[in-house]
A and B are shown apart, each in its own frame.
Chain A
Amino acid sequence: MAIEKEKLIDMYRVMVRIRTFEDRVFKEFAAGNIPGFVHLYAGEEAIAAGACANLRPDDYITSTHRGHGHLIAKGGKTDRMMAELYGKKTGYNRGKGGSMHIAEVDIGILGADAIVAAGIPIAGGAALSAQMRGTDQVTLCFFGDGATNTTRFHEGVNLASIWKLPIVYVIENNVYAETTPVSYAMNIPNIADRAVAYGIPGKTVDGNDVLAVHEVVGEALARARKGEGPTLVECKTCRYYGHYEGDTQTYRTKQEFEECRKRDPIPRFRKKLIKMGVLTEKDADKINQEMLEELDKAVKFAEESPFPEPRETLEDVYT
Chain B
Amino acid sequence: MTLLAVDDLEMRFGERLIQTGVSFKVEKGSIFAIMGGSGCGKSTLLKHLIGLLRPAKGSVTYNSVDYWRADEAGRASLRTGFGMLFQSAALWSSMTVLENVCLPLERQGRLDKAQREARAREVLAWVDLGKFADFYPADLSGGMKKRAGLARAIGSEPPLLFLDEPSAGLDPISSKKLDNLVLDIRARTGCAVVFVSHELPSLFAIADDGIFLDADSKTPIAHGSPRVLRDTATHPTVRAFLAREEPPPPAAQSAPSP
Chain B binds chain A = no
A→B interface (CB under 8 Å): none
Give me the interface of B with A, judged by CB distance under 8 Å: none
